[in-house]
Structure 1
Amino acid sequence: MRFYSLPKLLKITSTNPIKTFLENPWKYKNLSEAYFSFCNVTWDGTRNHLAFDLGYPTEGADDMEAAERYIKELEYDFKLVLLLEHLDESLVLLRRLMCWEMKDVVYDTAPKNVVNYSYESYNATPEELANLRRWKAVDYRLYDTFNRSLWRKIAGQGPDFYRELHHYRELKQNISWFCHGEQRRKPKLTLTVKTSQWSPQFVVDARYCKEMATRSWDMMKEIRQKESFKVDTRWEIVLPVINVRSIINGRPTFKYRIEQIKYVKELRRKIPKHKTFRKRRNHG
């Protein structure tokens, strides 16, 4: 709701936009659907985000038969889907399936992007949650399917899985404490993680701490950018959140940053110089 500036998109002005929306999500259907002209796709920031990111069209939100077929295809395509609420279990299982080492799945436990806002801790009523389940029926069906699948796969791993899970949680906590404590005060200090039955010995140093903290961001940058030995930032893909803000402000959407830059330059070229001067003067 906050990240995508949905209150502005939905024209909700209350102090608790989540409560206002959940009281009647259907009221905002025409406002929540945003059309991305550059790829001829309709996106809905309030509905079936998970399914949309995995390729299910926004237009199929009420077609549960089509959703069931698509989810079965996803079950066939993906051997494992990680769940954020059970991230540790998911990563331990992923490590086993991929035959990785423990150091490959350790992540930074320090909180990031912590922003306080008035409605962040709002607990929806049972009626509001029931509305949400009906509004996002495809996402709930998708989540329930892969939640059951995850626990079936974990059950097949045997009791040794939970011993590894306990070891993994202690390990990532100790590494995070080290990286944010002693290692930060003494950059040359290292931590040696001894060999266990699940992974060989490895060393945590300044480079490892940095990579652990930025791993997911670096990976996403590689995915989003045009492949090149010398990265041309003009060809970075415009993030959905930026395109949503463009729609809110009545501007077109773009796939690549270079297209957005050209549009802004053309727009500025058309603005009379005296208007530009007045705008700058008014803003100091």
Structure 2
Amino acid sequence: MFPLGRGTLSWPNVPRVNDYVHTPDEVYNVLFHHTVYNKEWMESKFPSNAAYLAILREPFSHLKSSFNYYKLDRLLPFKNRKNPLKEFLRNPAKYPTSGVVGNILVDKTRNAQAFDMGYPLEKAENMESGRDYIQQLDQDFTLILILEYLDHSLVMLKRLMCWETRDILYETQSRNSKTYPYKSYQPTETEREVHRQWSSVDYAMYDYFNQTLWRKIEDQGPGFFEEVEFFRKLNQQVNDFCSRTKTGKDLPTKHIPKSPWSNAFDINHNFCTLLRIDYSSIDSLIRRKQGRPVLKKPCEEQRVPLNPNLYFVLDDRPAFQTLGDVMKYKAKKNTKPLSPTQSDILKKLKNSFLKCKKKQKGMKDHFHAVAGRFKVKIDKLNNIPKDMLDLLNETE
């Protein structure tokens, strides 16, 4: 199943009929895009024997990553820019990090992983409900992997799914890893406890499924750890081999002999290409292979990315579900558009604006209502493409 367009599948909403590419027979067997788990909807779309998989990350590590990814260290009024987490954890409730997207309450600092697993933010302080929901997830999911024990999780997944070792090989060099001042920060016991209370369901969920993973591992016997060690060494060998790949030049085939945990298989240039391919490229590759090109929604139906919506919320603006909502709101309220100091938001939205045909019915007027009220010279905005400049100039 593919979203209609790229990116998430209706996050944080339940997918609507116009949110995904429909197959002729309405049969679906794989979904690997970001979405919020909704049991009722997924069971209505996928076979009864479908395997449900997810991965969890240690909650404090997840908080640090969210702070950096969503630029909370810059958007919120912290004095300590090098380590805003210390300031945040003195009183998390003080900072406006939640808001309504569509009609759903979202917060990227509180129970964010539980939210993606389908647990509503409104029940953040209801631990009895949280524990019941975790038990339900344990029944629904074939396996919930733990990032801090990724190799153990993958070997367990291989065994549960009756896969081959080549099916779980992965690129060891992280694509999205970035350095920021507080990345390696370890919280004090007090800070850890504050965060545990703030994201109590996330911690309960992580602890439960971490323990569940290790119980499953114990049931596998001592041979499991031998396979993990074998897998680690093999995965590194494959990564070392694939790192020699150069564009346009094929590598000689590398033969991997049979072992107690794997049948023999070969590694070649094509395998290395697939090993290193990114999420967006694999999405396009599968679409082309199945004859399903990327379909684009009408501009007014394109969903607003999470980052801009979070910025709207932090700036005391309403959050929006679609780009059309953004423009219609501004036209109706006659409000000023985003200022040049918020050009990062503009950059995220401008590409979607440009996808609209200039003469699309109703869209040009909405665009003018937004773009025509900039109180600055256009040349002061960074990285504005010519097509957008032309539209902006038409409004002057």
Name the TM tier (shorter chain).
0.7 to 0.9
Residues 166, 68 of structure 1: alpha-carbon distance in 2 compared, 3 angstrom cutoff? same
Q: Find the aligned partners of 1:48 and 1:222 in 2 and give their Cα distance.
A: 34
Structure 2 gaps of 5+ residues are 1-66, 327-351, 357-361, 383-396
Q: Find the aligned partners of 2:375 and 2:169 in 1 and give their Cα distance.
A: 53
Residues 68, 277 of structure 1: alpha-carbon distance in 2 compared, 3 angstrom cutoff? closer
Partner of 1:281: 379
Q: Find the aligned partners of 1:266 and 1:88 in 2 and give their Cα distance.
A: 54
Residues 185, 215 of structure 1: alpha-carbon distance in 2 compared, 3 angstrom cutoff? closer
Contact 2:99/2:319 (8 A) holds in 1: no
Contact 1:25/1:135 (8 A) holds in 2: yes
Residues 282, 153 of structure 1: alpha-carbon distance in 2 compared, 3 angstrom cutoff? closer
- The offset of 1:121, in angstroms, is 2.1
Residues 45, 201 of structure 1: alpha-carbon distance in 2 compared, 3 angstrom cutoff? same
Residues 70, 101 of structure 1: alpha-carbon distance in 2 compared, 3 angstrom cutoff? same
Alignment root-mean-square deviation, CA? 3.1
Q: SS where residue 203 of structure 1 aligns?
A: strand
Q: 5 Å matches for 1:260-271? A: 261=353, 266-271=365-370
Q: Find the aligned partners of 2:303 and 2:369 in 1 and give their Cα distance.
A: 26
Q: Give the residue type in structure 1 aligned to 2:239.
A: S
1:229 aligns with 2:327: no
Give TM-score scaled by structure 1 length: 0.84
Per-residue CA distance 1:80-101 (angstroms, 9 max, x = gap): 1100000100000000000111
Q: Find the aligned partners of 2:170 and 2:216 in 1 and give their Cα distance.
A: 22
Q: 5 Å matches for 1:1-284? A: 1-15=67-81, 16-28=83-95, 31-37=96-102, 40-180=103-243, 182-184=244-246, 187-189=249-251, 190-214=253-277, 216-217=279-280, 229-234=292-297, 238-248=304-314, 250=317, 252-254=319-321, 261=353, 266-271=365-370, 279-283=377-381
Q: Larger % of helix: which?
A: 1
Bigger relative contact order, structure 1 or 2, given CA contacts below 8 A and separation 6+?
1
Q: Find the aligned partners of 2:322 and 2:208 in 1 and give their Cα distance.
A: 32
Per-residue CA distance 1:164-220 (angstroms, 9 max, x = gap): 11110001111111111x223883113221122222222222221121122655567
Q: Give the residue type in structure 2 aligned to 1:279.
A: K
Contact 1:234/1:258 (8 A) holds in 2: no
The percentage of aligned residue pairs carrying the same residue is: 35
Paired positions, count:
275
Contact 2:310/2:319 (8 A) holds in 1: no
Q: Find the aligned partners of 1:191 and 1:204 in 2 and give their Cα distance.
A: 5
Give TM-score scaled by structure 2 length: 0.62
- The offset of 1:123, in angstroms, is 2.0
